[in-house]
Amino acid sequence: MNSKLDVQSSEVALAYAGPDNALASVSRESVLDRPVTWWTSLALMLTALIVPVLTTEVPPLTDYPNHLARCYLLAFGQSDPVLNQMFSAHWQIIPNIAVDLLLPALMHVFSPLTAGRIMLALCLLLPTSGAVALSYAYFQRRSFWQIAAGFAAFNALFLMGFMNFELAIGIALWGAAAWIHYREKFPAAMIATGALVATLAFFFHMFGFCFYALLIGSYELSVLVGHDFRTRPDPRRAVKRASLLAITLLVPVILYLSSPLQHVQDAAGWPHLAQKVANFFGPFLDYSSAFDILTVIPLIAFLIFCVMQRRARISAAALIAFLVLLAIYVVMPRSIKGTYFMDIRLPVMMGFMVFAGFMPKMFASRKRVAVGVLFGALFVARITFLTSVWMHSQRDVDDVRQAIESVTPGSRVLAADVVCTDTPAWCASMPISRRLPELTPTYWHLASFVLLDRHAFWPNIFAEEGKQPIVIKEPFRDLQAVDSPPVNYMYLDSASQQIPPIVLKRFPFLTDWSEKFDYVLVLNVEGAPNLDHFLPNRLQLIDRRGIAALFKIRK
């Protein structure tokens, strides 16, 4: 097969069936066709992505504060006499440690919160720019559609604080772009480089390795079957390419079989059909369903228009990868091996693939400008909305940090939550920054600041065996929560609220909790009636500020 076709990964032909050849050619003098215009637009898009990060010290990303706390321990825990009594580093073969490898080192150069924001910027820029690079590798040309990949940057998983996942798929996208661009020119070098990328993606996150394997595997298949999927592959050539691909991916497979994660056993959990449908739009979901619709409808309408009018190029390799992701998403459970939100990761990957593997064509300059203005305005509106939400959310962070100022180092703080199912009226009116619709609250891990600010213990830190590189020491290990969200504060009143066995399994410390902890930090307290008089014989209210209330346990 022609090497040029191999490099470009071929395209699914969607020919334009119209007589107006003017649509197919744009004047060479057009400003839109100048490389400087494209590069400037790309730079502006990437710069806009980090505006919300620059304006907010601690964004409302669900898992983010917990990652900060764990990496703070890895950076300073061994040298801190208080924290060293609670935690220790425990490195293993773990396919989920991107931030654990990078963020502690940054914390030795910058303040913990500044280092965290640098990592968040990388989580935004790496996959977005990777999608642009992959698109160029597929089509060997620039397009303003590639710049629209910025719409997928603030996806649902980023807003949930899944930093390892975001970094890993960024590595996968960049690695696949390099593989497609150089595979035919320097095959031996790319096999070696591909093996390194696969190993790095594995340690960053298991899904990153799987995504990388799918991207380069789909490219290899597209080379063998051609652009129309009807070419009969040469058996010898197919075996040779498959063998080299297997060699590239061998090391991570061996590492996984040797990792503790391979032995984790847990029943799968399945989402409702409505959740499955809603989460398909995960690349564009944020804090407002109405705003999501404003973004999604024009994008989908444009894609449908281009396909129906045969004004689209579609990479054969990208189409294979997209269809595989879609098929897996249909059957993927919500949780497996103790890991949650497994299925929604597939749509996020598909979101980046839409911008990498699809390219509009045959639009006259005026129409290109009109489409660009429309999507540019939508993108600016999205960034402005997110920036506003993040800036207003900073008040919750400040309230928590002020409320816990009296917590003493080395003490034990039980984190509790006023659950929305118990107070639906309040949750319908609470700040939108506190919840991602149909997904999860974003404030759950603000209790992490009892460790970051006060060097105290709280039971919800991410420290699961085989999943994070830290362990909790005795006697604090008995206080560890099996599940990371804070416990429903109503379960502290065992006299009026019987604790279900499944809750005791997730929070085993609830039995005689008042003897095991020194403080109780309750979050989302505006929705709790008469919280000031909650368990007065066991709890003394120390401070209450906005979202947070701190109680001292009476001994």
- Of residues 278 and 264, more confidence is placed in 278
- Measured CA to CA, the distance from residue 166 to residue 348 in angstroms comes to 9
Indicate the pTM of the whole model. 0.92
Strand 519-523 vs strand 413-417: parallel, antiparallel, or unpaired?
parallel
User: 315-329 burial by CB neighbour count: b if 16+ within 10 A, else e?
Assistant: bbbbbbbbeebeeeb
Distances (CA, A) of 420 to 28, 63, 152, 157, 488: 58, 19, 29, 21, 10
For 199-240, write each residue's pLDDT tens digit: 999 999 999 999 999 999 999 999 988 766 666 778 888 899
Q: Is the pLDDT of residue 144 over 50?
A: yes
Lowest mean pLDDT among 5-19, 89-103, 482-496: 5-19
pLDDT of residue 24: 40
pLDDT recorded at residue 272? 81
Q: Point out the least confidently predicted range of 7-21, 385-399, 519-533, 536-550.
A: 7-21
Q: Please give the average per-residue pLDDT across 154-170, as a whole number.
A: 97
pLDDT digits (tens, 9 = 90+) for 478-493: 999 987 899 999 999 8
Separation of alpha carbons 403 and 286, rounded Å: 28
- Are 219 and 179 in contact by the 8 Å Cβ rule? The answer is yes
Q: pLDDT above 70 covers what percent of the chain? A: 92
Q: What share of the chain is helix, strand, coil (3-state, %, to 5)?
A: 60, 10, 30
Range of weakest confidence among 46-50, 115-119, 331-335, 383-387: 331-335
pLDDT in tens, 290-323: 889 988 999 999 999 999 999 999 999 999 999 9
Helix axes 98-107, 163-182, angle to 10 degrees: 110
Nearest Cα to Cα of residue 368 among 26, 29, 28, 21 = 26
Burial class from Cβ neighbours inside 10 Å (0-12, 13-18, 19+) for residue 232 reads exposed
Q: Where are the alpha helices (DSSP H) in 140-204?
A: 144-147, 156-159, 163-182, 187-204
| Tens-digit pLDDT profile for residues 412-452 | 999 999 988 777 777 888 899 999 988 899 999 999 999 99
Could you identify the residue written with the tokens 């968040």?
Answer: 120
Max CA distance (Å), the chain:
86
For residues 234-259, give the mean pLDDT.
91
Q: Chain-wide mean pLDDT for the chain?
A: 90
How confident is the model over 263-271, as a mean pLDDT?
A: 69
pLDDT at 532: 84
Return the percentage of the chain with pLDDT > 90, whole number: 73
Per-residue pLDDT at 506 exceeds 50: yes
DSSP, collapsed to helix, strand or coil, labels residue 70 as helix
Q: Residue 11 above 80 pLDDT?
A: no
Task: Specify the pLDDT at position 41.
Answer: 95
Cis, peptide link before residue 475, omega less than 30° from 0:
yes
- A 10 A CB-CB count for 554 gives 11
pLDDT at 533: 87
Residue 4, pLDDT score: 38
> Which range, of 99-113, 188-202, 365-379, averages the lowest pLDDT?
365-379
Q: What is the mean pLDDT of residues 380-404?
A: 97
Collect all residues with Cβ–Cβ distance below 8 Å to 424 and sequence separation of at least 6. none
46-96 confidence digits (pLDDT tens): 999 999 999 999 999 999 999 999 999 999 999 999 999 999 999 999 999
Give me the pLDDT at residue 22, please.
38
